Amino acid sequence: MNWPHVIEIITPAWRRLVIRSVAARPLATLIRSSLQTDGPAYQSLAESIRRLIADGRLLDGTRLPSERELTTALGVSRTTVAAAYARLREQGYLLSRRGAGSVVQLPGNRVSAGPLSPEPSADVIDLSIAAPPAVPGLAALYESALQRLPLAAQGSGYAPWGLGELRQAIADRYVQRGLPTEPEQILVTSGALSAMSVVFHALAGPGDRVMVESPTYPNALAAVRASGARPVGVLGVSERLDPDAVELTLRQQSPGLAYLILDFHNPTGALADEPTRARLARATARQRCQVIADESLVELDLATPDERPIVAYGAYDRTSIAVGSLSKAVWGGLRIGWIRVPPRDLTAVRRTLLSLELGAATLEQLVAVEAFSRFDVLVAERRASQRASRDALVTALHDLRPDWGFTVPRGGTSLWCNLPAPRGSELCQAAFEHGVRLAPGASFGVDGGLESWVRIPYTLPPDTLRTAVERLGTAWDSMIGRPARAAEPPALIA
Ligand SMILES: Cc1ncc(COP(=O)(O)O)c(C=O)c1O
């Protein structure tokens, strides 16, 4: 009997859980990479699997190999594996049914959406929003836009696809980034989140699967769910997208859509290299999965100032849809984003857009036109200040918390920090008591988990970031001596 048939004859709750599986050999490799050798063998094995679950490398609902298969792959005794599985069951990390295998579950680790209480005072450093303040000169952009307003105001003010001049400027930027684009393919929205919501509503239906990275941008997960679709996480390591894991997920889950952040990922900061993009394009085409590339952070390249712009993913995959935004490059308060749609999907996406919004505000679109007219200068300034903040945060962490691991990203807005113990949500709670609001790794996981991680943005000035790291260090030291307890994430994470 193959696995799907087994699922059919067991309970609905069980069926909800079982959505993916991991084979014995890859699991053995993951286990060996994190195995501690002290203590009884079964305890080390259980602890290693528990850490893989807490880190989000094994997702909620993943079926583990049978005891016999894992015994062979690891070359240990059957008793060791049986005892390790039994321990994980006791701890609530595994659910086993006779004849149907063992499935990972997260004990009481569903992330709830309530706000942190009490409300933060003015002294709280807010690291839950990874967005910089407006570029210098924003007021001048508004003044220039105001001068054009009387002419624009002669029309009705309704331009649901966006002002022609702005659509042209956005299309021109795609051309600079190696992707021929007509202004007709651009639909202006009020921000990238609106843009992706339109796309999910247009192209995904109830019950459809949308492949996402885990971790990923939490509001995108909410947007997928709001369309009725179900996000399915790519298995694998939590720091960068693994093309092998993508291929496996495509084969196992057959998602019709994939939502990916390939450019300075939020929260990891990772940039997908060219071979990865090319492989993604081939793999998704093979499995008839359409990619929605979120390019909100693409302009925040902190490499060298004269670096050429990053080639748009659409240049590798002509069927993909892109969503973009001025929120990170210019200012989040503008609320200007867009969708770049391949011709075959234009009608469906336009129709859906009209059911959800009637276009972005005219004055802000005029400001965006002004911003594009001096984009290189604005982006250079943005990159310089982001670079200074990133470097200050890296130095502060190296000085004050050398045991917190991270890869310094080439761009984006945040460091994805690996803590010495899987207590990220608790750290965020303790940090709040010490005057820092922070987003736990669990908020970025498709099914929670990721308890060994926190996202630390570098969108505040260098001195503030150093103070924040000092407070985070005190918070960590204050909680690490006491037993683990449950904690709630902030209500809004951006
Ligand atoms: C990856 C990603 N996409 C989209 C957004 C939302 O962008 P906007 O402000 O344009 O709606 C954010 C904001 O943090 C983000 O990080």
Q: What is the residue-level pLDDT of the chain in tens, covering all 494 positions?
A: 232 222 323 333 444 444 578 889 989 988 887 777 778 889 889 888 887 877 767 777 788 999 999 999 999 999 999 999 998 888 888 888 777 788 888 765 443 333 444 455 568 999 999 999 999 999 999 999 999 999 999 999 999 999 999 999 999 999 999 999 999 999 999 999 999 999 999 999 899 999 999 999 999 999 999 999 999 999 665 677 889 999 999 999 999 999 999 999 999 999 999 999 999 999 999 999 999 999 999 999 999 766 788 999 999 999 999 999 999 999 999 999 999 999 999 999 999 999 999 999 999 999 999 999 999 999 999 999 999 999 999 999 999 999 999 999 999 999 999 999 999 999 999 999 899 999 999 899 988 788 999 999 999 999 999 999 999 999 999 988 776 665 666 667 77
Q: Which atom of ligand 1 is nearest to the CA of 326?
A: 10
Q: Which atom of ligand 1 is nearest to the CA of 336?
A: 10
Angstrom distance (rounded) from CA 145 to CA 163: 13
Among the listed residues 375, 404, 382, the one whose alpha carbon sits nearest the alpha carbon of residue 459 = 382
Please tell me the residue having the least CA distance from ligand 1 atom 3. Answer: 296
Please give the distance, rounded to the nearest whole angstrom, from the Cα atom of residue 18 to the centre of ligand 1: 31
Instruction: Return the best residue to mutate from 188, 198, 216, 217 for the ligand 1 pocket (most ligand atoms within 8 A of CB).
Output: 217
Q: What is the DSSP string of 331-355?
A: -GGG--EEEE--GGGHHHHHHHHHH
Would you call the peptide bond into 180 cis, given omega within 30 degrees of 0 as the criterion? Answer: no
Q: How far is CA 134 from CA 140, 357, 387, 464, in A?
A: 12, 25, 16, 17
Please give the distance, rounded to the nearest whole angstrom, from the Cα atom of residue 32 to the centre of ligand 1: 37
Please give the distance, rounded to the nearest whole angstrom, from the Cα atom of residue 74 to the centre of ligand 1: 42
Q: Which atom of ligand 1 is nearest to the CA of 265?
A: 1
Instruction: Return the best residue to mutate from 129, 264, 266 for the ligand 1 pocket (most ligand atoms within 8 A of CB).
Output: 266
Q: What is the signed CA dihedral for 223, 457, 363, 312, rounded to 10 degrees? A: -70
State which H helix or E strand residue 124 sits in: none
Angstrom distance (rounded) from CA 159 to CA 149: 14
Please give the distance, rounded to the nearest whole angstrom, from the Cα atom of residue 186 to the centre of ligand 1: 18
Pocket of ligand 1 (CB under 6 A): 130-131, 191-193, 217, 261, 266, 294, 296-297, 325, 327, 332, 337, 494
Angstrom distance (rounded) from CA 301 to CA 241: 18
φ, ψ dihedrals at 231, nearest 5°: -75, 135
Please give the distance, rounded to the nearest whole angstrom, from the Cα atom of residue 344 to the centre of ligand 1: 26
Task: Provide the residue type at 117 as one letter.
Answer: S
